[in-house]
């Protein structure tokens, strides 16, 4: 029989290198899938990992998609280090888009105008509040009723999506939009300023990189971040030290929800400049993979967000140029996470082969002795 046996000391080198090993194995698996689909594997890998960085405009698109992934993953890293399993960043992203987009739409419909981008900070702040408020629903149910934050946060994703659908199909629908489910285009005063001329990349990427530094300082240089991580690694030790598990729960969820809401507001006021039912392409769920591939570290999250962004764009290019199915990108993302978890398991444990113990026949002597004693 196979059995996992804990290693005395997991290798730190292998722990740091496991994302690269998982990526290499994902590339091998991708090559096999391309062959099975009758496609040239070299061409397929080139579309996923080379074409997305072919030129300034292509690189700008990669960074554009990496921005919401980075922001969502930073917040999730705080949650997971605190042992709070927030799976609903997608819903918090949508509520941030609704809140930020609602402010932008109100300013637009009421004729409040100004210089280009002057009201964008107000839109982003509304997104942070909206995402944090949606995460607070999960915090309340976990804090007061001990509900599973995994199930609650996940189910709230679908509530958020239906709320967005109601708004863009109903009261917020553009009357001049030819019956498409979308709002009016926001006024230019609410747009995020453009960073590179001729591209869609906006200043949100700068905000995201600044937040990387802020979260690194919070997690590794501040006592509050230390409390969160101790509570996640050793809850009993945290209670003994007097750290509040309730405060950690609220801090982790509000920070995570606020960051996802910020990402949603950026998406609405950045490349889209309006609200549609498809304001998110699954950024909140993809950010979970980004978070773990980045080893729950802010610097690692930067690299992994770029990698997953390349996969997203590569999947779109693969559909148009090679006729690949849309689901292939999800297969690659899931394979990367699965292989990473497998590598981490083998780093922490070694596989041992042990023969099953043979059953020992019960001895008849004790039964005979009891029978003899029972006789008069």
Quick one: 118 and 77 in the same domain?
yes
Q: Which 3 state secondary structure label does DSSP give 42?
A: helix
Please indicate, yes or no, if residue 373 is contained in any of the structural domains: no
pLDDT computed for residue 276 by the predictor: 96
pLDDT digits 0-9 by tens, 131-160: 999 999 999 999 999 999 999 999 999 999
Please indicate, yes or no, if residue 212 is contained in any of the structural domains: yes
Quick one: 26 and 85 in the same domain?
no
Average pLDDT value for residue range 252-257: 97
- Which of 44, 355, 68, 106 has its CA nearest to residue 207? 68
How far is C-alpha 277 from the chain's CA centre?
Answer: 20
Quick one: 280 and 333 in the same domain?
no
Quick one: 92 and 109 in the same domain?
yes
| Count of alpha carbons within 13 angstroms of residue 184, beta-carbon side | 18
Please indicate, yes or no, if residue 41 is contained in any of the structural domains: no
Quick one: 153 and 31 in the same domain?
no
| Rounded CA separation 184/177 (Å) | 8
Quick one: 18 and 80 in the same domain?
no
End-to-end CA distance of the chain: 50
Q: Which residues contact 312 (CB under 8 A, 6 or more apart)?
A: 65, 281, 286, 329
Quick one: 252 and 351 in the same domain?
no
- The pTM score is 0.91
Beta bridge partners of 4: 351
Number of domains in the chain: 2
| Rounded CA separation 15/329 (Å) | 26
Please indicate, yes or no, if residue 51 is contained in any of the structural domains: no
Please indicate, yes or no, if residue 154 is contained in any of the structural domains: yes
Question: Crossing angle, helix 120-145 and helix 149-169, to 10 degrees?
Answer: 140
Beta bridge partners of 202: 194
Please indicate, yes or no, if residue 45 is contained in any of the structural domains: no
pLDDT digits 0-9 by tens, 37-95: 999 999 999 999 999 999 999 999 999 999 999 999 999 999 999 999 999 999 999 99
Q: Which 3 state secondary structure label does DSSP give 182?
A: coil
Q: How many residues does the chain have?
A: 376
Quick one: 172 and 272 in the same domain?
yes
- Do the beta carbons of residue 97 and residue 275 sit within 8 Å? yes
Largest Cα span, the chain = 109
Lowest-pLDDT choice from 94-98, 276-280, 323-327: 323-327
Residue 121 has pLDDT above 70, yes or no: yes
Quick one: 320 and 335 in the same domain?
no
pLDDT computed for residue 234 by the predictor: 82
Quick one: 303 and 347 in the same domain?
no
Please indicate, yes or no, if residue 361 is contained in any of the structural domains: no
Supply the range of the domain harboring residue 130: 57-324
Q: Which residue has the higher pLDDT, 281 or 366?
A: 281
Residue 329 has pLDDT above 80, yes or no: yes
Q: Which 3 state secondary structure label does DSSP give 193?
A: coil
| Count of alpha carbons within 13 angstroms of residue 206, beta-carbon side | 8
Instruction: Write the DSSP symbol of residue 6.
Output: E
Quick one: 102 and 22 in the same domain?
no
Residue 365 has pLDDT above 60, yes or no: no
At 244, the pLDDT band (50, 70, 90 cuts) reads confident
Please indicate, yes or no, if residue 374 is contained in any of the structural domains: no
Say how many C-beta atoms besides its own lie within 10 A of residue 78's C-beta. Answer: 28
Average pLDDT value for residue range 187-192: 95
Quick one: 214 and 231 in the same domain?
yes
Q: Considering the chain, what is the average pLDDT of its residues?
A: 91
């Amino acid at each position: 029989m196979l059995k996992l046996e804990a290693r005395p000391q997991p290798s730190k080198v292998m722990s740091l290198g496991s994302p690269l090993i998982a990526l290499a194995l994902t590339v091998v698996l991708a090559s096999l899938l391309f062959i099975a689909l009758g496609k040239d594997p070299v061409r397929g890998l080139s579309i996923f990992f080379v074409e997305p960085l072919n030129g300034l405009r292509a690189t700008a698109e990669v960074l554009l998609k990496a921005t919401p992934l980075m922001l969502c993953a930073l917040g999730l890293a705080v949650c997971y280090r605190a042992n709070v399993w927030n799976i609903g960043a997608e819903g918090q992203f949508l509520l941030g888009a609704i809140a930020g987009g609602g402010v932008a739409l109100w300013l637009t419909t009421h004729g409040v105008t100004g210089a280009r981008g002057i009201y964008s900070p107000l839109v982003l702040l509304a997104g942070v509040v909206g995402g944090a408020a949606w995460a607070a629903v999960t915090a309340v149910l976990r804090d007061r009723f001990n509900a599973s934050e995994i199930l609650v946060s996940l189910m709230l994703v679908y509530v958020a999506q239906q709320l967005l659908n109601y708004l863009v199909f109903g009261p917020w629908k553009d009357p001049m939009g030819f019956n498409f489910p979308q709002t009016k285009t926001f006024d230019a005063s609410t747009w995020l300023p453009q960073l590179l001329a001729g591209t869609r990349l906006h200043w949100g990427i700068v905000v995201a990189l600044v937040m990387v530094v802020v979260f690194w300082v919070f997690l590794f240089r501040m006592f509050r971040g230390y409390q969160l991580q101790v509570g996640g690694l050793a809850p009993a030790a945290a209670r003994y030290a007097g750290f509040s598990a309730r405060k950690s729960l609220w801090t982790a969820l509000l920070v995570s929800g606020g960051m996802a809401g910020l990402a949603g507001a950026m998406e609405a006021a950045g490349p889209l400049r309006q609200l549609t039912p498809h304001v998110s392409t699954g950024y909140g769920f993809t950010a979970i993979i980004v978070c773990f591939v980045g080893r729950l570290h802010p610097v690692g999250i930067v690299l992994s967000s770029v990698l997953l962004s390349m996969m997203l764009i590569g999947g779109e290019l693969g559909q148009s140029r090679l006729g690949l199915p849309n689901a292939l990108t999800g297969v690659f993302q899931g394979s990367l996470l699965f292989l990473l978890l497998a590598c981490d398991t083998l780093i922490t444990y070694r596989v041992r082969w042990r023969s099953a113990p043979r059953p020992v026949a019960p001895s008849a002597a004790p039964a005979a002795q009891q029978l003899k004693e029972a006789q008069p």
